[in-house]
Amino acid sequence: MRNIIKITLLIILVSCTDTTSHSRGVYMLMDTSGTYTNEISKAQSIINYLLAALQPGDTLSVARVDSASFSEKDIIAKVTFDGRPSVANEQKRKFREKVKAFAKSVKGSAYTDISGGMLQAVEYLNEAGPGEKTILIFSDLKEEIKKGHVRDFPIQLTGFRVVALNVTKLRSDNINPKEYIDRLDNWKKIVTSGGGTWKVINDLDRLDKILEH
């Protein structure tokens, strides 16, 4: 009998001291450079999917990628959903409205600072501290850095999943497809060398794969 009590107490203690975070954190980078602004409705669909899929306690943030993306100012909307489902639902509604308002007023930027955006995402998610960290890049992955900005350093991505969404083929890619392949390979190299995992989803009918491990 004593042993049973001891084991039960041990199980309770072990269970209570489990500090593993079970929440998920998603940071979505939205390319707003040049003609990619035309794809904003697709980005909205993805955000709506994320709002439906994420649970109370999860974190979601949407930021734009512009000429200098390593800035909090580029975050369009961010939220950590409340534990109560009714409050979380209300937060989701407000989040959707913010994104909608942004989509209406979006203006294209001259440069595309994806690396800066990614750094911002890493910083934000590390601070939020969710159990699973996912960075979504809604872009053609063609990076154009403003003169004088330094981005040629490795990014620490251990524990991060990076998913490239809707990587459209540029006109030059059609002429030389190797450019497209090289672009993807380059990003994959950056992510995996930083300790993260890399995935590309171009078919937006398979959005369920975004949050899959």
Partner 1 sequence: MSSANILLIWPENPAIAILLWVFISVVILYMARRPAHHAIRSLSRVIHNAMRIAARSVMLVRNKVEDRNKEVLLAAGEDAVERLIEQEFHRVEAVVTRDLSGYPSLQRALKDQITCIDEDYRESGEVPPSPPGWDKAVEAVAKIRSTGDTMVVNILEEINKSFNKQQKIAISEYRKVSGERHSLLKKMMPYWRKMVNTLDDVEKTISGLLERSRVIDNKMDQYEQIRAGTDKAMRMLSSSSLTQFFIACFVLLIAIGGAVINFNLIALPMSEMVGGSSYIGPYRTSDVAAMVIILVEVAMGLFLIESLRITRLFPIIGSMDDKMRTRMLWITFSILFILASVESSLAYMRDQIAADMQALRQSLAEVTITEPIRGNWIPTAGQMVMGFILPFALTFVAIPLESFINSSRTVLGVLVVGFLRVVAFALRFAGNLALSIGDMMANIYDLIIFAPLWVEGLIRNKAEKPEISSVEKEVIS
* CB closer to partner 1 out of 52 and 150: 52
Which pair of tokens denotes residue 130? 């969710």
CB 60 within 8 A of CB 165: no
**Minimal distance in Å, beta carbon 29 to partner 1?**
21
**Minimal distance in Å, beta carbon 129 to partner 1?**
13
**Minimal distance in Å, beta carbon 65 to partner 1?**
24
Q: Which residues bind partner 1 (CB under 8 A)?
A: 14-16, 18, 20, 22-23, 48-49, 51-52, 55-58, 81-86, 88-89, 92-93, 96
* CB closer to partner 1 out of 22 and 73: 22
**Minimal distance in Å, beta carbon 47 to partner 1?**
9
Report how far apart the first and last C-alpha atoms of the chain are (Å, whole number): 43
User: Tokens 């593993």 sit at which residue?
Assistant: 20
* CB closer to partner 1 out of 92 and 133: 92
Torsion (CA) 104, 30, 60, 99 in degrees, nearest 10? 0
* CB closer to partner 1 out of 30 and 47: 47
CB 32 within 8 A of CB 54: no
* CB closer to partner 1 out of 73 and 93: 93
Query: Up-side HSE of residue 170: CA atoms within 13 Å toward CB?
Result: 17
**Minimal distance in Å, beta carbon 82 to partner 1?**
8
State how far the Cα of 154 lies from the Cα of 177, in Å rounded to an integer.
Answer: 26
**Dihedral sign (CA 123, 26, 64, 112):** positive
User: Tokens 């999943």 sit at which residue?
Assistant: 161
Helix, strand, or coil here: 110? coil
